[in-house]
A and B are shown apart, each in its own frame.
Chain A
């Protein structure tokens, strides 16, 4: 599946994972630090994903932007 990462924006291919949890583990991402988005919907860690999906891992940590 295609995984979109941010800051900087880039795409990586991930194969062989069947749930959101497994994708995050494969990419060594802490679940609390991202939202996982598919077609505008938030995914839960137990949600299934498949090879044809495009998902975005959107970081939620901000450091300087907010006031």
Chain B
């Protein structure tokens, strides 16, 4: 197969775009897609203070690389979750994130959940008897916003890709979770209650493409899956969507962008954070009422963990 731009040997096919690219033209394609997404949704400007959530995985490292290439100055924040012990998943992911930042002289800030808040994700999952992904998601959302807010960043940049967003939308649609569907936007604006603006520039890019980008760019990323992810409904939905995509290329993108372009406004009433939010009585961050879910988790861990 030949690159559709230069007719050199191709490295990747993107079936939903009817496109085949060599390495260099694939990099161009990725930059254009991210640039277009940032522009179309007015996500951010180069003069704003940008903080990227970095996991050491393919999406966040590819995005950091692309944004840097596009001229954005972006700092990263890695949350040490304590998964897998001293030489386990979290340690190796952190090492990869630190290596990436060091090689490019980028600023990576590390927040250790155990040091800062007194517990790890495996401990919290065990104590609460909740699925690990649930306490992990809660903790990451809280810590990322808190760091971005307290350290004066204008925008929190996230590495969610097309597959993540399509799977989330499908999951929330299957359960008709109106509030979550209403909240699923490329940009979540800043609120007066201290929620930092949150944006998703990889919205048009499938996760196979971020993985390919890293391999072709020589970016070492965490290939192994999180050991606690077993039973994650999101992965099952992704597998199902990929079976559909194989038969009908472009279906995931049509599903997600059809929603964003034509249906998301109809769910806006279910998403009125600005009206409903209040300050957490304990930490002062935004919450729906009383003490926020993260502070309740922290209290529970200090009492019983």
Residues of A within 8 A of B (CB): 6-7, 9, 30-35, 37, 40-42, 44-46, 58-67
Query: Of B60, B225, B239, which one neighbours A64 at CB under 8 angstroms?
Result: B225
Number of A-B residue pairs having CB atoms within 8 Å of each other in the complex = 102
Q: A33-B239, A60-B207, A64-B234 are in contact. List 10 more A-B contacts (CB 8 A).
A: A30-B246, A32-B206, A42-B212, A44-B12, A45-B13, A58-B211, A62-B59, A63-B234, A65-B89, A66-B159
Query: Of B144, B160, B208, B223, which one neighbours A6 at CB under 8 angstroms?
Result: B223
Q: Are B239 and A61 in contact (CB under 8 A)?
A: yes
Q: Are B246 and A60 in contact (CB under 8 A)?
A: no
CA distance A46 to B13 in the complex (A): 11
Interface size bucket, B side? 35 or more
Tell me which residues across on chain A come within 8 A of B239, comparing CB atoms: 33, 61
Answer whether residue B203 sits at the interface, using C-beta atoms and an 8 A cutoff.
no
Q: Are B235 and A61 in contact (CB under 8 A)?
A: yes
User: Distance (Å) between the CB of A20 and the closest chain B CB?
Assistant: 11
Q: Are B93 and A65 in contact (CB under 8 A)?
A: yes
Interface centre among A31, A41, A44, A61 (most CB of B within 10 A): A61
User: Given A42-B212, A42-B216, A67-B140, A61 and B238 touching (CB < 8 A)?
Assistant: yes
Binary A-proximity of B224-254 (CB < 8 A = 1, otherwise 0): 1110110010110011001101100000000
Stretch touching chain A among B49-57, B100-108, B187-195: B49-57
Answer whether residue B169 sits at the interface, using C-beta atoms and an 8 A cutoff.
no
Tell me which residues across on chain B come within 8 A of A7, comparing CB atoms: 224-225
Query: Of A32, A35, A64, A67, which one neighbours B242 at CB under 8 angstroms?
Result: A32
CB-CB nearest 7 A-B residue pairs: A67-B53, A63-B235, A64-B229, A64-B226, A60-B211, A63-B232, A60-B208
User: Distance (Å) between the CB of A63 and the closest chain B CB?
Assistant: 4
User: Distance (Å) between the CB of B247 and the closest chain A CB?
Assistant: 10
Residue of A nearest to B132 (CB): A64
User: Distance (Å) between the CB of A24 and the closest chain B CB?
Assistant: 11
User: Distance (Å) between the CB of B92 and the closest chain A CB?
Assistant: 11
Tell me which residues across on chain A come within 8 A of B228, comparing CB atoms: 64
Tell me which residues across on chain A come within 8 A of B54, comparing CB atoms: 67
Query: Of B59, B210, B229, which one neighbours A63 at CB under 8 angstroms?
Result: B229
Q: Are B13 and A65 in contact (CB under 8 A)?
A: no
CA distance A64 to B55 in the complex (A): 10
Answer whether residue B73 sits at the interface, using C-beta atoms and an 8 A cutoff.
no
Interface centre among A6, A46, A65 (most CB of B within 10 A): A65
Answer whether residue B80 sits at the interface, using C-beta atoms and an 8 A cutoff.
no
Tell me which residues across on chain A come within 8 A of B12, comparing CB atoms: 42, 44
Query: Of A6, A44, A60, which one neighbours B58 at CB under 8 angstroms?
Result: A60
Answer whether residue B164 sits at the interface, using C-beta atoms and an 8 A cutoff.
yes
User: Distance (Å) between the CB of B233 and the closest chain A CB?
Assistant: 9
Query: Of A35, A44, A63, which one neighbours B133 at CB under 8 angstroms?
Result: A63
Query: Of B57, B160, B238, which one neighbours A65 at CB under 8 angstroms?
Result: B57
Interface centre among A9, A41, A63 (most CB of B within 10 A): A63
Residue of A nearest to B249 (CB): A32
Binary A-proximity of B108-149 (CB < 8 A = 1, otherwise 0): 000000000000000000000000110010001000100000
Residue of A nearest to B1 (CB): A44
Residue of B nearest to A46 (CB): B1
User: Given A35-B208, A42-B12, A45-B13, A63 and B225 touching (CB < 8 A)?
Assistant: yes
